[in-house]
Amino acid sequence: MPVYLRLIIALAAAALCGCSFTNSPANIKPSLPVKQDCVILLHGLARTSDSMRPMAEALQAQGYRVVNLDYPSRQWPIATLAQKAIPTALTQCRTQPTTRIHFVTHSLGGILLRQYLQHHRISELHRVVMLAPPNKGSEIVDHLKTLPPFAWLNGPAGSELGTSANDLPQQLGAVNFELGVIAGTTSINLLLSLYLPNPDDGKVSLESTKVEGMRDFIALPVSHPFIMKDKDTVAQVIYFLQQGHFLHEASAQ
């Protein structure tokens, strides 16, 4: 049975019986009605909000209010992008009574959120799922950022995503919020994968997606450009937002 179907069945069973799952962390509070929850979606580098539309539609079908923010990812450095994008999204969330605010991010979007939280507190922040985030940077940036085409394609933010101690991801530290990370292990760009430790998703290695303090982690056989549209990914995102952990294979428990 596909993973996304198992997830749907598991969530339905939990709703019917009012029970929690045995491997759920004891300190996770029961979910409030999702009509009080808002989910902010942050797309990746050189993408638009259209790339997150399937995710938005799936979350809306679950009853969440969704802010699918479009921001000019190639125009400014990460700190500027974070300061411009995230307050705008929060304002949109807060146009209606909001008990909890979640984030679902792809790639660069996760780094924007981490950068923002270094300097600001979001009082309603609850759970975050990051899809293929370069939490430790990407070796592709190390090798290619000095080439003119790289800067043209990826802008100032792209050049900040290397793996050295001077690059931004290495300066952000541990996270202190409920974070689930989903990494991809399939590449459709074998040339770029030559620069990355395996396994990787064609842009970021599996190991580089991890960050100290994350609540849960799962790897799926998807590629970087399509992870946010993958059915299993979408199902795992919904499961984490509702349960506080991913649904792992029984053999992995």
pLDDT tens for 72-95 read 999 999 999 999 999 999 999 999
* pLDDT given for residue 249 in this prediction: 79
Mean pLDDT over 162-188 rounds to 97
pLDDT > 70 in the chain, percent: 85
pLDDT confidence band for 16 (50 / 70 / 90): very low
34: phi then psi, degrees, rounded to nearest 5: -70, -15
Q: Determine the pLDDT at residue 212.
A: 98
Residue 158 is predicted with a pLDDT of 97
Chain centroid to CA 69: 14
Which of 217, 219, 222 has its CA nearest to residue 186? 222
pLDDT score, position 36: 82
31 pLDDT more than 80: no
Count of alpha carbons within 13 Å of 10, Cβ hemisphere only? 23
Contact 115, 170 (CB under 8 A): no
Does residue 199 have a cis bond before it (omega within 30 degrees)?
yes
Average pLDDT over residues 126-130: 98
**Torsion angle of alpha carbons 225, 229, 235, 237, nearest 10°?**
60
pLDDT at 45 over 90: yes
User: What is the predicted pLDDT for the residue at 60?
Assistant: 96
pLDDT-above-90 percentage for the chain? 83
Q: Which of 33-37, 131-135, 217-221, 225-229 has the lowest mean pLDDT?
A: 33-37
Say which CATH superfamily domain 34-199+211-244 falls into.
Alpha/Beta hydrolase fold, catalytic domain (3.40.50.1820)
Query: What would the pLDDT profile of 196-221 be if each residue is shown by its tens digit?
Result: 999 999 999 999 999 999 999 999 99
Looking at residue 21, what is its pLDDT? 39
**42-65: average pLDDT:** 97
Cα separation, 79 vs 83, whole angstroms = 6
Residues 232 and 246: their CA atoms lie apart, in Å, by: 11
pLDDT of residue 30: 45
Is the predicted pLDDT of residue 169 greater than 80, yes or no? yes
Considering the entire predicted model, what is its pTM? Answer: 0.86
Q: What is the average pLDDT value for the chain, to the nearest integer?
A: 89
Structure tokens at 9: 């069945």
Among 117, 133, 116, CA closest to 44: 133
For residue 150, the surrounding DSSP H or E stretch is helix 148-159
Tens digit of each residue's pLDDT (9 = 90 or more) over 96-125: 999 999 999 999 999 999 999 999 999 999
The sign of the torsion formed by the CA atoms of 69, 75, 79, 83 equals negative
